[in-house]
Structure 1
Amino acid sequence: MPIARTLPAILLALLLAALPQPGHAKSLYTEDFSGIALGLLAPSLPGSDFELVDGHAQGRDDAPPQDRYLWLGAGWYAEAYDPLTQVGDTVVQSAAAFDLQAGRTYVLSFDWSRGLVAGGNGPFWLTISAQVGSQAVTYGDVTGFYFPTDWQPGELRWTQATDEAGVHLRFTATGLAYSAAAIDNIRLNVSPVPEPDAWAMLTAGLAALGVTLRRRRP
């Protein structure tokens, strides 16, 4: 077959090879609380990367199938609650901070549950919110006197609109009266970025293919 005929096909094959291929998301952060100290109340939540911002939080290991996890008091367990509404919240955040880049897609995944409480009757409403910079997601549940845990997956996925520097992962448990939440297996991933060389090769290849096709026209 003449080279002139096969050249466009060869160029097209090279272009397809140069196209950015879908890759695996890059892991930016993981916290499973496997080393957190149990039952200790301290701003640093020793043995984990999380810090107490406000309220009442502690490491626990009494909610199978999870191993160790972070318990977040809400309502009266939050210590700083509103006596009129009987609503209180606990806020924790990662010590690690992240610089979010515009145009990148991020995924925060985690396990969450109502927390074990040993008081009151219920049911009492409860929410758990996850926040990364200007993005947030909230889940709701009910809890009460010896309600069992009900672990569920949580996810916050978004494409970053503008650059944000020094962003922490923040979780807030808010609830009525005797209520609490639990979180575990926190992960933050970011989509891969195509190599600049791949885009340069693609642009040059498209230009060359266009020139070749124009030359072959009668």
Structure 2
Amino acid sequence: MQTMGKIAAAAMAVAAVPAAAAPTTVTVTGTVMNGYDPVGTFGTAGADLAGKAFSAIFTVESKPDSTLTSTATSAYLYGRGAASPVSAALTIGSGTYNFAGSFSGTARASDAAGKGGTDMIYYMAEDTDLSLLPPDNTLFYVFFDSLSNLLSRPDYTAFDTVRPGPADAGQGQARIANYDPATGKFGQSTIANLSIDTIRADVASPVPEPATWAMMVAGFAMAGVALRRRRVDARVRFA
């Protein structure tokens, strides 16, 4: 009986091994204030993007070499190259463009309204072609910086839906530099200046590491063996 209890406790302890950190998805919605799409990145070449609704999903996931700086009122996550912690997908009309954040990415939050500062959210994903001189890039960012108390904590990964008002500077920009492989140059860029209606961050459920899954399976198997032995012992004593 004591052996059974020890094995069951071991299985439960294995199940409690911390899971890997999960990425956060940040959904941003709003309207294009003004913009031009010369090559049809979001549908029709030469389209005026002004007035179109947009939605964007940022994925925030700290990498081993990302830099995280945090205080009582702010948090700042940043990385370049393989350490870049932010990517994004922007949808305008019928088209979606993916920003890998392969050059750099940033997620920032500040909960300082009424504390000598402002409440602020900033997400950025940037891809840059360094082979060009000067370098050209695709860039997408959104932010708000407000004296209003819109955040309950300095956390860019978990908060209720934020709705910046007209005075809260909720805006962003997407710049997509269109590369022409025939000429080896960048042509006209797609530009969209954005007005933000809502921002919401949702943390995904943590996923156990592969090694943790293996330990959990082994632990439950041990518990199962102990249960079978207990039944056999009980039948022998009864006989």
Confirm or deny a common fold (TM above 0.5): no
Relative contact order (alpha carbons < 8 A, sep ≥ 6): 1 or 2 greater?
Answer: 1
TM-score range, shorter chain: 0.3 to 0.5
Q: TM-score, normalised by structure 2?
A: 0.30
